[in-house]
């Protein structure tokens, strides 16, 4: 950051980042789709034709209807229905809520826990650092899916348990990223200056070191949200994730799996499309953020 | 050197022990194992009897000692569902998983290296960019969904290939394999492709990066200046140097292919140990779950240990850094 000229500094950094972000059409498209998806998930109870959790609204006679057919109650099922007679469009929007909440929630918790441990490891060093980094190394030597499966085999199903598993899988990335960034930043003069002023540790850690370690963490986090959503979907598809009462997109796909083989594709296919569009949109935004926030690529 | 090896071996042993404690605590201490271990119709006397027989009336630390001693002898308990030793059950399904994993690795190499070289050589042309876009999709889309799409396209819509199962098998050196029969090959193709997608994307990226690095080096320029054909420069001079890091990474990734087989095997009903794990979790068949987890953890730690040892033998810098550090 020291290489910035006076003119560049006069312009607000946020505005510069936004301007650079908007330069990429695919990233803007990703961001627009992402906003639409978020809005649809957020306002699901008001925009869906049916509450898929309310059994009184379901009619089993409307089961397995293909997309576009009209139900007994006069409702048109634009994306068809599942075996319970559930409107797939409503089920997908509600499932999206669970998938997004679990993905974003676990990423946020993992970010806070991992960053705090990584920062502390870099700042205090010694035994504590050795212990934290050993655990990080040990955990990252196993594939994420395996760690999550071990935990869920022990804990059982449930939204809270999936959250625990996803946080456990992810925190190590943040710990490693933040420690790396903090070691680089900690060797710089402003930290030395802050130490010479005899500022308390807490102030140096959170006001000086942490803000300067954030850009790489934000990049890791955007990619990780997409990974967390994909992992949650995979776990739910395998039947060890969220419970059947609160189906996420992965569980909806699993429920339609047996019908897929008999040609009733819509029960699995449309939740899958929603999942894939969400993941691709997040990745497009994340990729651009990485380019924009990477100081090495800045001219 | 010897001190380093011993220290590294001790670390690996500690890692195994830590995982054993976690798995043991998870399975035996969270909740009452009797609830799962014996039938719900049992009366109080039977429950007490089961407790004593299973050693559950003893202190936790003593139970852990027994668990560990049995595990060291290769006894990881009996499956409730199949009423067979859990370890044997898993080892019976090992060949199917290994066959799938090896096939997937072969596809990843045969497809990934040429595509990656193409993407590297044509990195600013549409074909190179298309390959990279494809590899990003291969990376980011959930593996099980890719598998479902394969089934939908090739099994349901086109009807070319079967949707699941292992098909006909023939014994080869006493192990049942399916790649030697046509029916078996048809069953193997879709799951192997599904499992290979992720690794293919990885190989494409590695090869592309290697190609772009190597193509600027002097010996490549020299080979061209010597008047060698483009074909020979690319396929002999460049390929050899690109292969070294790719092969190293792929060796390390084999374990993760076996772990990811859990997903593919479930999607395609492939009778391997991954599907056994998921079935056992769903059936609360805890001894099998424990046995699978202990086995795979052991394999992973062993592989990491061997790789570390190999690096130390091959690369003196690792040893020197160890001596100074």
pLDDT score at A5: 47
Nearest CA in chain A to B139: A227
Residue A239 placed within a domain: yes
CB atoms within 10 A of CB A186: 21
For chain B, percent of residues with pLDDT exceeding 70: 86
How distant is the alpha carbon of residue B235 from its chain centre? 30
pLDDT score at A217: 87
Nearest CA in chain B to A157: B282
Q: Is the pLDDT assigned to residue A105 strictly greater than 90?
A: yes
Mean pLDDT for chain A?
Answer: 81
Distance CA A251, CA A240 (A): 10
Most confident option among A125-134, B103-112, B147-156: B103-112
Residue B90 placed within a domain: no
Cβ proximity of A136 and A176 under 8 Å: yes
Kindly state whether B277 is in contact with chain A, defined as any CB-CB distance less than 8 angstroms.
yes
Q: Is the pLDDT assigned to residue B186 strictly greater than 90?
A: no
B295: exposed, middle or buried (C-beta count within 10 Å: 0-12, 13-18, 19+)? middle
Q: Which of A141, A234, A253 sits opposite B300 (nearest CB)?
A: A141
Residue B194 placed within a domain: yes
Query: Residues B263, B226: one domain?
Result: yes
Beta-carbon separation of B30 and A154 below 8 A: yes
Minimal Cα–Cα distance from B214 to chain A, Å? 22
Residue A298 placed within a domain: no
Distance CA B144, CA A275 (A): 12
Query: Residues B111, B253: one domain?
Result: yes
Q: Is the pLDDT assigned to residue A76 strictly greater than 80?
A: no
pLDDT score at A87: 79
Helices (H), chain B: 2-24, 33-37, 44-54, 60-72, 86-121, 126-140, 143-150, 182-214, 218-225, 230-232, 239-267, 273-282, 286-314, 316-324
DSSP state of B217: S
Residue A40 placed within a domain: no
Two structure tokens written together for A169:
């899988």
Distance CA A129, CA A166 (A): 23
- CATH (domain of B210): 1.10.3720.10
Two structure tokens written together for B95:
């060949």
Query: In chain A, which residues have their Cβ closer than 8 Å to the Cβ of B152?
Result: 260, 265, 269
Q: Give residue for tokens 């196993």.
A: A142
Query: Residues B223, B264: one domain?
Result: yes
Query: In chain B, which residues have their Cβ closer than 8 Å to the Cβ of A141?
Result: 300-301, 304
- What is the domain count for chain A? 1
A201: exposed, middle or buried (C-beta count within 10 Å: 0-12, 13-18, 19+)? exposed
Cβ proximity of B147 and B233 under 8 Å: no
Beta bridge partners of B78: B85
Confidence label for B28 from pLDDT (cuts 50, 70 and 90): low
Kindly state whether B136 is in contact with chain A, defined as any CB-CB distance less than 8 angstroms.
yes
Q: Which of A153, A263, A269 sits opposite B281 (nearest CB)?
A: A153
Residue A264 placed within a domain: yes
Most confident option among A6-15, A68-77, A251-260: A251-260
Confidence label for B104 from pLDDT (cuts 50, 70 and 90): very high
Residue B316 placed within a domain: no
What pLDDT, in 10s, does the model give residues A21-32? Answer: 788 888 888 889
What pLDDT, in 10s, does the model give residues B280-319? Answer: 888 777 778 888 888 888 888 887 788 777 777 766 666 6
Query: In chain B, which residues have their Cβ closer than 8 Å to the Cβ of A260?
Result: 148, 151-152, 156
Q: What is the mean predicted confidence (pLDDT) over B111-117?
A: 90
Query: In chain B, which residues have their Cβ closer than 8 Å to the Cβ of A234?
Result: 142-144, 263
Query: In chain B, which residues have their Cβ closer than 8 Å to the Cβ of A95?
Result: none
Two structure tokens written together for A262:
């008999």
Q: What is the mean predicted confidence (pLDDT) over A109-128?
A: 89
Residue B323 placed within a domain: no
Residue B309 placed within a domain: no
Residue A4 placed within a domain: no
Q: Is the pLDDT assigned to residue A33 strictly greater than 80?
A: yes
Q: What is the mean predicted confidence (pLDDT) over B30-40?
A: 60
Beta bridge partners of B298: none
Distance CA B188, CA B175 (A): 16
Q: Which one of B30, B97, B132, B148 makes the best mutation probe of the A interface by having the most chain A beta carbons within 10 Å? A: B148
Cβ proximity of A275 and A253 under 8 Å: yes
Beta-carbon separation of A265 and B262 below 8 A: no
Residue that terminates a domain, selected from B17, B37, B72: B72
Return the higher-pLDDT residue of A79 and A181. Answer: A181
Nearest CA in chain B to A265: B152
- Count contacts between A and B (CB, < 8 Å): 100
Query: Residues B49, B108: one domain?
Result: no
Q: What is the mean predicted confidence (pLDDT) over B23-43?
A: 64
**What ipTM does the predicted assembly reach?**
0.78
Query: Residues B133, B246: one domain?
Result: yes
Query: Residues B44, B111: one domain?
Result: no
pLDDT score at A166: 92
Distance set, CA A144 to CA B185, B239, B259 (Å):
30, 32, 9
Residue A245 placed within a domain: yes
Minimal Cα–Cα distance from A265 to chain B, Å? 8
Distance CA B19, CA B38 (A): 26
Q: Is the pLDDT assigned to residue B105 strictly greater than 50?
A: yes
Confidence label for B34 from pLDDT (cuts 50, 70 and 90): low
Query: Residues B140, B226: one domain?
Result: yes
Confidence label for A2 from pLDDT (cuts 50, 70 and 90): very low
Kindly state whether B28 is in contact with chain A, defined as any CB-CB distance less than 8 angstroms.
no
What pLDDT, in 10s, does the model give residues A207-226? Answer: 888 888 888 888 888 888 98
Residue B87 placed within a domain: no
Residue A99 placed within a domain: yes
Distance CA B303, CA A297 (A): 37
Note the pTM of the prediction, 2 decimals: 0.82
Q: Is the pLDDT assigned to residue A247 strictly greater than 90?
A: no
Residue B320 placed within a domain: no
Q: Is the pLDDT assigned to residue A297 strictly greater than 60?
A: no
What distance, in Å, lies between the first and last C-alpha atoms of chain A? 11
Mean pLDDT for chain B?
Answer: 80
pLDDT score at B131: 87
Query: Residues B138, B63: one domain?
Result: no
Q: Are strands A69-70 and B175-177 parallel, antiparallel or unpaired?
A: unpaired
Confidence label for A73 from pLDDT (cuts 50, 70 and 90): low
**Domain enclosing residue B50, as ranges:** 2-72
Distance CA A87, CA A107 (A): 30
Q: Which of B266, B296, B304 sits opposite A238 (nearest CB)?
A: B266
- CATH (domain of A130): 1.10.3720.10
DSSP state of A93: H
Q: Is the pLDDT assigned to residue A199 strictly greater than 80?
A: yes
Confidence label for A112 from pLDDT (cuts 50, 70 and 90): very high
**Domain enclosing residue A183, as ranges:** 79-291
Longest dimension (CA), chain A: 77
Confidence label for A111 from pLDDT (cuts 50, 70 and 90): very high
pLDDT score at B322: 55
Note the residue count of chain A: 299
3-class SS at A76? strand
Query: Residues B213, B248: one domain?
Result: yes
Q: Indicate the angle between helix axes B239-267 and B182-214, nearest 10 degrees.
A: 140
Residue B198 placed within a domain: yes
Nearest to A30 by CA among B195, B87, B140, B216: B140
Burial string for B51-86 (b: 16+ CB within 10 Å, else e) reads beebebeeeeeebbeebeeebeeeebbbbbebeebb
- What is the domain count for chain B? 2
């Amino acid at each position: 950051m020291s290489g910035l000229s006076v003119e560049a500094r006069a312009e607000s950094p946020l505005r510069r980042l936004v301007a650079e972000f908007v330069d990429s059409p695919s990233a803007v498209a990703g961001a627009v789709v992402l906003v639409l998806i978020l809005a649809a998930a957020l306002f699901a109870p008001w925009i869906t034709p049916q509450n898929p959790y309310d059994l009184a609204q379901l009619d089993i006679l409307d089961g397995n209807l293909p997309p576009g057919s009209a139900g007994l109650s006069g409702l048109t099922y634009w994306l068809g229905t599942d075996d319970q007679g559930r409107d797939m469009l409503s089920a997908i929007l509600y499932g999206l809520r669970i998938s997004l909440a679990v993905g974003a929630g676990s990423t946020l918790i993992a970010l806070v826990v991992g960053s705090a441990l990584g920062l502390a490891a870099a700042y205090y060093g010694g035994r504590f650092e050795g212990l934290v980094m050993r655990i990080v190394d040990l955990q990252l030597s196993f594939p994420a899916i395996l760690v999550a499966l071990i935990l869920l085999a022990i804990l059982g199903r449930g939204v809270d348990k999936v959250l625990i598993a996803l946080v456990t899988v992810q925190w190590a990335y943040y710990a490693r990223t933040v420690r790396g960034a903090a070691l680089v930043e900690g060797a710089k003069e402003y930290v030395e200056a802050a130490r010479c002023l005899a500022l308390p540790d807490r102030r140096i850690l959170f006001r000086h070191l942490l803000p300067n370690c954030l850009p790489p963490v934000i990049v890791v986090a955007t990619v990780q949200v997409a990974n967390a959503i994909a992992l949650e979907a995979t776990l739910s598809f395998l039947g060890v994730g969220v419970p059947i009462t609160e189906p996420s997109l992965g569980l909806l796909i699993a429920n339609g799996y047996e019908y897929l083989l008999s040609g009733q594709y819509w029960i699995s296919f449309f939740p899958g499309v929603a999942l894939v569009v969400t993941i691709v949109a997040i990745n497009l935004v994340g990729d651009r953020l990485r380019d924009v926030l990477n100081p090495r690529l800045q001219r | 050197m010897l001190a380093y090896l011993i220290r590294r071996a001790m670390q690996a042993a500690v890692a195994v022990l830590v995982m054993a404690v976690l798995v043991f605590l998870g399975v035996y201490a969270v909740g009452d194992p009797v609830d799962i271990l014996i039938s719900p119709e049992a009366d109080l006397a039977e429950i007490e009897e089961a407790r004593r027989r299973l050693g559950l009336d003893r202190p936790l630390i003593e139970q852990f000692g027994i668990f560990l001693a049995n595990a060291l002898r290769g006894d990881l308990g009996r499956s409730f569902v199949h009423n067979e030793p859990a370890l044997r059950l898993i080892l019976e399904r090992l060949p199917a998983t290994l066959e799938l994993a090896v096939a997937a690795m072969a596809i990843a190499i045969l497809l990934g290296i040429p595509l990656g070289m193409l993407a590297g050589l044509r990195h600013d042309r549409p074909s190179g960019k298309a390959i990279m876009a494809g590899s990003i999709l291969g990376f980011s889309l959930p593996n099980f969904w890719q598998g479902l799409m394969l089934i939908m396209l090739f099994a349901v819509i086109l009807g070319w290939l079967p949707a699941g199962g292992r098909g006909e098998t023939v014994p080869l050196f006493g192990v049942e394999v399916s790649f030697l029969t046509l029916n078996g090959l048809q069953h193997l193709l879709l799951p192997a492709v599904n499992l290979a997608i992720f690794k293919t994307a990885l190989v494409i990226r590695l090869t592309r990066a290697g190609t772009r690095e190597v193509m600027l080096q002097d010996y490549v320029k020299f080979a061209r200046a010597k008047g060698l054909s483009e074909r020979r420069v690319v396929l002999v001079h460049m390929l050899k140097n690109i292969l070294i890091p790719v092969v190293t990474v792929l060796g390390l990734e084999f374990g993760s292919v076996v772990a990811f087989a859990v997903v593919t095997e479930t999607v395609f009903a492939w009778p391997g140990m991954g599907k056994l794990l998921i079935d056992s979790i769903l059936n609360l068949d805890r001894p099998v779950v424990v046995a699978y987890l202990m086995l795979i953890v052991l394999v992973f730690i062993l592989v990491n240990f061997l790789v570390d040892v190999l690096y130390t033998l091959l690369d003196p810098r690792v040893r020197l850094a160890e001596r100074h550090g």
